[in-house]
A and B are shown apart, each in its own frame.
Chain A
Amino acid sequence: MQGWVAPHLAAEFPGLGISWVEVDGRPGRSPKAVDRRLRDLSDRFYGAHAIHMRERPIPWAYRVFFRQIGLDPDRSRTPVEQLALERLQRGGFASRGLPRDALTIATVETGVALRAFDAERLDGALCIRDSAPGESLPGRPGELSRGTLTIADERVPVGLLFGATAEGREVGGGTRRIAIAAVQVEGVPQIAVDEALWMVAATLETA
Chain B
Amino acid sequence: MGLLQREPVPALHGGNERLARAELRRQIGRLELQLSGLVAEAFPRLDLDAAVPAAGREPRVLGFGDLEAVRDALVARIATARRALSERAQVEARNRELLGRMLAAPEDFKWLRVSRADIGRPGCGHWHSRPRLGPLGMLMGWWQVKVSSGCPLAGRLAAVDQESQGD
A interface residues (Cβ-Cβ under 8 A, vs B): 9, 11-12, 47-48, 51-52, 54-55, 60, 63-64, 67-72, 74-76, 130, 144-145, 147-149, 160-163
Contact = CB atoms under 8 A, between A and B. Distances in A.
B9 interface: no
Given A48-B43, A74-B52, A75-B54, A148 B33 contact: no
A51 B51 contact: no
B74 A67 contact: yes
Interface of B: 18, 21-22, 25, 28-29, 32-33, 36-37, 39-40, 43-44, 49-56, 58-62, 66-67, 70, 74
Which of A47, A69, A148, A149 has the largest number of chain B CB atoms within 10 A? Answer: A69
A72 B36 contact: no
9 contacts: A12-B61, A68-B67, A70-B55, A70-B60, A70-B62, A70-B66, A74-B52, A148-B58, A149-B61
Nearest to B49: A74
Contacts, number: 90
Contact of B61 (A9, A64, A74, A76): A9
Which of B28, B37, B58, B62 has the largest number of chain A CB atoms within 10 A? Answer: B58
Contacts of A54: 36, 39-40
Contacts of B44: 47-48
A40 B23 CA distance: 42
B32 A60 contact: yes
A55 B56 contact: no
Given A54-B40, A55-B40, A67-B70, A160 B58 contact: yes
Contacts of B49: 74
B96 to A, nearest CB: 23
A68 B18 contact: no
A11 B19 CA distance: 11
Given A54-B36, A55-B40, A67-B70, A162 B59 contact: yes
A144 B56 CA distance: 13
Contacts of B51: 72, 74-75
Contacts of B62: 68-70
Nearest to B43: A51
B53 A72 contact: yes
A147 B59 CA distance: 8
Contacts of B32: 60, 63-64, 67
Contacts of A9: 61
B66 A52 contact: no
A72 B52 contact: yes
B59 A70 contact: yes
Contacts of A48: 43-44
Given A64-B28, A145-B60, A162-B59, A71 B54 contact: yes
Contact of A55 (B18, B22, B33, B53): B33
Given A54-B40, A149-B59, A160-B58, A11 B18 contact: yes
Contact of A12 (B18, B36, B50): B18
B54 A76 contact: yes
Which 4 residue pairs spanning A and B have beta carbons closest together?
A70-B55, A72-B54, A74-B51, A54-B36
Contacts of B43: 47-48, 51-52
Nearest to B37: A55
A51 B28 contact: no
A144 B59 CA distance: 11
A138 to B, nearest CB: 16
Contacts of B25: 64, 68
